[in-house]
Amino acid sequence: MSNNTELQSVKNRFGIIGNAPTLNHALSVAIQVAPTDLTVLINGESGSGKESFSKVIHALSSRKHGPFIAINCGAIPEGTIDSELFGHVKGSFTGAIDDRKGYFETTSTGTIFLDEIAEMPIGTQARLLRVLENGEFIPVGSSKVKKTDVRVVAATNVNLLEAIERGRFREDLYYRLNTVPLHVPALRERGYDIELLFRKFSTDFAEKNHIRPIELTENASQMLMNFRFPGNIRQLKNIAEQITILEFERLVSAEILTKYLPREQSSRLPTLLRGLNGGNDSNFSERDLLYKVLFDMRKDMTDLKKLVLSLMQGGQTGGVSINAEIMQQHQGLFEDIHQEDSVALMPPTVYNPPQQTNYPSYQPVDNQNIIKIDSLQGDRINVEDISHETEENSYSLEKQEKEMIVRALKKNNFKRKYAALDLGISERTLYRKIKQYDIEDE
């Protein structure tokens, strides 16, 4: 049997619709690994159909006559998940009025599908690792070791490597689960499959409710395939059923379809600003942002004073007259004067990076009503010396930078990658600042 024939046969058997190359590749991996007893880790977005692949693996394996059970690790409370998976003995905890077998015992000789494996508690992960390595487990409240012969297929919609870095997932368990990785593509990556699935869902729903199925115009079909579908196949099915039952017109145009495609809600604020009043970002507050803005404003004023002083000193090489026209020409100096390397609580995407401005060369204006810089050179007592203020402001800004860097590092357990994200700067800039301020990077 050729590969294409085998693929089509499996698709027909399990109701898998689509011909996208990414889908065919994932299905080929599932078919190839199914006859073995290797552990499989299925990775894909929520709603992309990961459970269907676990059923394909079980049905094509030598365990197909054994039990199959799918468990959502995120749906079981942390206090009871050990009992659910490994069982318990009578009296092991309040309410344990009798012995109970866990899923790993009842599913022996079969396959157990652990969905949302990243939500499994750390303690339970250690128990699972022992099952994968030795086929052994101990029920809750018991001291007797039991054996099981179970094949584990796990799935997740998160990046487990990042979860490992944050201490939320065991690294040894990850490599034990990831014996054979299998990636299920998101719906938006499957191109024309979107329209095929839409027709399938609409036709099935119409037949079930004894109504005529709908059809899409060419523009509506193109709009459907361009939509991102964050909810993947589940979302597409809901939209197809809604339109089929609610619309009187059986030919759906792009205008009609627009009413059923929700606008993707996304905040335009930077991530750090969205997290200020929620989650665990209690180390940063609105007061910190206000301080940062005030410090920036003070620095801007200092830069402006330095510019005026340099213009006045420029009279030694010919002189420059200060008038309304010149100040108007310098109006752009009040915009975009933030420096790239200054550590800001707001990420640099909030404002544009500084741009080099080519200023015109100024000539003295021969007008008796205009004060010339030349005439002020002899009267230096009227010129304000701001060098001490500049040093003081610079020290204040450097102190604030150092404090913010230290706080961000402590908050993220001295992991530069996440500290840099919180500060809104690159990891390379953070490293340079740590060296500059001689900060101990534990």
Q: What pLDDT is recorded for position 442?
A: 58
At residue 215, the 3 state secondary structure works out as strand
Q: What pLDDT is recorded for position 339?
A: 43
Same domain? For 306 and 389 the reply is yes
Q: Which among 296, 299, 274, 298 has a CA at the least distance from the CA of 284?
A: 274
Q: Which among 417, 431, 425 has a CA at the least distance from the CA of 161?
A: 417
Q: How far is CA 125 from CA 87, 130, 152, 161, in A?
A: 15, 9, 13, 15
Same domain? For 318 and 430 the reply is yes
Last residue of a domain, one of 185, 209, 229: 185
313 token code pair: 């000193």
Are the C-beta atoms of residues 377 and 316 closer than 8 Å to each other?
yes
User: 390-394: long-range contacts (C-beta < 8 A, 24 or more apart)?
Assistant: 390/302, 390/306, 393/298, 393/299, 393/302
Q: What pLDDT is recorded for position 246?
A: 94
If you search the block for the tokens 């953070």, which residue do you land on?
Answer: 430
Same domain? For 340 and 237 the reply is no
* 145 backbone dihedrals φ, ψ, rounded to 5°: -80, 135
Whether pTM exceeds 0.85? no
335 token code pair: 């915009």
351 occurs within a structural domain? yes
Last residue of a domain, one of 185, 207, 242: 185
Q: What pLDDT is recorded for position 266?
A: 36
Same domain? For 388 and 419 the reply is yes
Task: Tell how strand 40-43 and strand 151-156 pair up.
Answer: parallel
- The tally of domains found in the chain comes to 3
Last residue of a domain, one of 161, 185, 209: 185
Are the C-beta atoms of residues 30 and 180 closer than 8 Å to each other?
no
Q: In angstroms, how far is CA 378 from the centroid of its own chain? A: 62
Q: What pLDDT is recorded for position 312?
A: 62
104 occurs within a structural domain? yes
Same domain? For 157 and 200 the reply is no
Q: Which among 9, 14, 53 has a CA at the least distance from the CA of 33?
A: 53
441 occurs within a structural domain? no
119 occurs within a structural domain? yes
Domain extent for 237: 188-258
CATH number at residue 125: 3.40.50.300
CATH number at residue 252: 1.10.8.60
Supply the DSSP symbol for 381.
G
Q: Report, as ranges of residue numbers, the positions in the chain whose pLDDT lies below 50.
A: 265-284, 315-321, 324, 327, 330, 333-357, 359-394
Same domain? For 138 and 243 the reply is no
Helix intervals (H) in 178-285: 193-208, 218-226, 232-246, 254-258, 271-274
Q: What pLDDT is recorded for position 40?
A: 97
HSE of 250, CA atoms in CB hemisphere, 13 A:
6
149 token code pair: 């012969």
38 occurs within a structural domain? yes
CB-count exposure of residue 282 (10 Å: 0-12, 13-18, 19+): exposed
Same domain? For 414 and 290 the reply is yes
Same domain? For 12 and 150 the reply is yes
264 occurs within a structural domain? no
Same domain? For 318 and 381 the reply is yes
Same domain? For 335 and 399 the reply is yes
Q: How far apart are CA 252 and CA 222, in angstroms?
A: 12
Same domain? For 171 and 25 the reply is yes
- pLDDT tens, residue by residue, 114-136: 999 999 999 999 999 999 999 99
Are the C-beta atoms of residues 200 and 241 closer than 8 Å to each other?
no
82 occurs within a structural domain? yes
111 token code pair: 């396959």
Same domain? For 127 and 242 the reply is no
Q: Which residues on neighbouring strands pair with residue 372, listed in sequence order?
A: 321
